Amino acid sequence: VTFDDVAGIDDAENELVEIVDFLKNPAKYQRLGGTVPKGVLLIGAPGTGKTLLARAIAGQAGVPFFSLSASEFIEMIVGVGAARVRDLFKQARDAAPSIIFIDELDAIGRARGSGAAIGGHDEREQTLNQILTEMDGFDSREGVIVLAATNRADVLDPALLRPGRFDRRVLVQRPDRAGRAAILKVHTKRVPLAADVDLERLAAETPGLVGAELRNLVNEAALLAARKDQNEVHARDFSEAVEKIMLGPARHILLNPTDRERTAYHESGHALLGLLVPGSDPVHRVTIVPRGMALGATYQLPTDDRTSYAEDYLRARIISALGGRAAEQLIYGVVTTGGENDLRQVTEIARQMVLRWGMSAKLGPISFVAPPDDGLPPAFQRQPYSEATAELIDAEVRRIVEECQGEATRLLAAHRDQLVALATALLKAESLDERDILEVTGLGPPPARAAEA
């Protein structure tokens, strides 16, 4: 594995090029008295490519690679973990220049003395102490570099992060749209793709997915194509694979006509509001094929990766999410339990608007989020506000949701004909893509927000 096998995380890769150069040409740095960090901490969500990066550094530099998960150090017998650490570092020194890679560092590197560690594991602490001792006991000029990976840097013991240990931290971010396209190109090198496959479009349709998930997506699409005895993987195979990964495999259940029609109106409500509310993410696909726990789904995907969210965009998200419930109320006069997940999503967005982002005129630009306390579970942490403020927060959350519910109902009532047409087409075809949706409704993409126009 070399850097040629790594894609989509260029920033992290660029930060680690220096490590490779040091392992290849140590004299270049030593002649000026410089030393490369003994430890490099790779921080990122699961699947972002931390382990792949570590292997690529060793492969690029052509040096031995010693890898172990931190959880493998821990045993019931006290002292075994520390002995394994000593043995690992001895092997690396004997093979220098070399790389040691410790995965899931937070398994043994959690802060000592916090409430979470009361009555904790002596073996874990002994193992952590041995790692600190070993890192203090060798010189970076020996050519041994320790890489570690974690997705919880916030819980690590401060002793691990002080200068001379893991003092260089490299953030391995989720790939952006261009990064996802690059990752897909790497994983489709040996996959015969049909002419209708557009990897750039596929990258746009998979926001938030990390490298491991994209690799799984390509594999699922290839398996689907093979199951159909195709010679190439088509765009529809990738679309089906995306749905399978996000919602689960299709369930071959026979819905009664009433439930099927209600599901069609529910999903049509989501899709139609996605076209009507300014600033909404474009609707790419709507389906009433049951998958996982869902009887249907509407896929709204941003045209570009977002790094921040305006208040009107968040309200647009809430309005669209309430579209299913509003459509049921408009057509049938009653609502069902089908909107449970929508309500959970809506409530969470509205609560974050009030608690975290200061989007309540009554409460003002104040954050009501308490700093995390590792010593106590969330249920036992003290809220950083009074009971009176808590009541006001609840009232503001309710106000935002009710205002958005009113707007969803108003828009669907004004476009009832398009709602009926879309539901009818969905009952016939079961799945509609963006072009079909625009053709059936006679509408264009959602108008841009004033700030974007």
What CATH number should be reported for the domain holding residue 374?
1.20.58.760
Q: What pLDDT sits at residue 436? A: 92
Both 293 and 370 in one domain: the answer is yes
Please indicate, yes or no, whether residues 12 and 161 belong to a single structural domain of this protein: yes
Task: Give the model confidence (pLDDT) of 104-126 as tens digits.
Answer: 888 887 776 654 444 445 777 78
Element (H, E) at 424: helix 416-429
| pLDDT band per the 50, 70, 90 thresholds, residue 453 | very low
Which domain CATH number covers 215? 1.10.8.60
Domain stop point among 194, 224, 247: 247
Residues 223 and 204 both lie in one domain: yes
pLDDT at 118: 42
Read off the pTM: 0.78
**Pick from 247, 277, 297: which residue ends a domain?**
247
Tokens of 390: 């808590």
- Average pLDDT over the chain, rounded to an integer: 86
Query: Has residue 165 been placed in a domain?
Result: yes
Catalytic residues: 267
pLDDT tens figures, 224-268: 999 999 999 999 999 889 888 887 777 877 788 999 999 999 999
Residues 125 and 145 in one domain: yes
Please compute the mean of the pLDDT values over residues 76-90 and round it to a whole number.
78
Tell me what pLDDT residue 16 has: 87
Domain boundary among 117, 149, 171: 171
Q: What are the tens digits of pLDDT across the range 275-305?
A: 999 888 889 889 998 887 788 889 888 877 7
Distances from the Cα of 346 to the Cα of 222, 309, 316, angstroms: 36, 15, 11
Amino acid 162: pLDDT: 85
Average pLDDT over residues 134-145: 76
Which of 71-75, 151-155, 162-166, 377-381 shows the lowest per-residue confidence on average (mean pLDDT)? 377-381
Look at residue 449 and tell me if it is in a domain: no
What pLDDT is recorded for position 291?
83
Alpha-carbon distances of 279 from 240, 400, 438, 449, rounded to whole Å: 27, 17, 17, 5
211 and 264 both lie in a single domain = no
Same domain, 274 and 417: yes
* Residue 448 included in any domain: no
- The reply to whether 48 and 196 lie within a common domain is no
Pair (164, 206) in one structural domain: no
Q: Are residues 165 and 242 in the same domain?
A: no
Q: Is residue 288 part of a domain?
A: yes
My answer on whether 208 and 296 are in the same domain is no
pLDDT at 107: 82
Identify whether 346 is part of a domain. Answer: yes
Question: Residue 108 class from Cβ within 10 Å (0-12 exposed, 13-18 middle, 19+ buried)?
Answer: buried
Distance of alpha carbon 393 from alpha carbon 53, whole angstroms: 44
Q: What is the mean pLDDT of residues 173-186?
A: 92
Which tops the pLDDT comparison, 210 or 154? 210
* Residue 137 forms part of a structural domain: yes
Calculate what percentage of the chain has a pLDDT beyond 70: 91
In a domain, 149, yes or no: yes
Least confident interval from 65-74, 152-161, 317-326, 444-453: 444-453
pLDDT of residue 117: 43
140 pLDDT tier (thresholds 50, 70, 90):
low
Ranges of H-type helices in 166-310: 177-187, 199-204, 211-227, 235-247, 257-276
| Residue 252 domain-assigned (yes or no) | no
Q: Are residues 181 and 161 in the same domain?
A: no
Q: 83 or 345, which is more confident? A: 345
Give me the number of domains the chain comprises: 3
Average pLDDT score over residue span 425-442? 92
Q: What are the tokens at 413?
A: 């009532």
Q: CATH number for the domain including 116?
A: 3.40.50.300
- How many whole angstroms separate alpha carbon 219 and alpha carbon 216? 5
Q: Residue with structure tokens 């509408």?
A: 443
d(CA 45, CA 40): 16
Local structure of residue 291 (DSSP, 8 states): B
Domain match, 34 and 165 both: yes
Query: What are the pLDDT digits (tens) for 370-424?
Result: 765 555 555 566 677 888 888 999 999 999 999 999 999 999 999 999 999 999 9
Question: 296 lies in which domain range?
Answer: 257-441
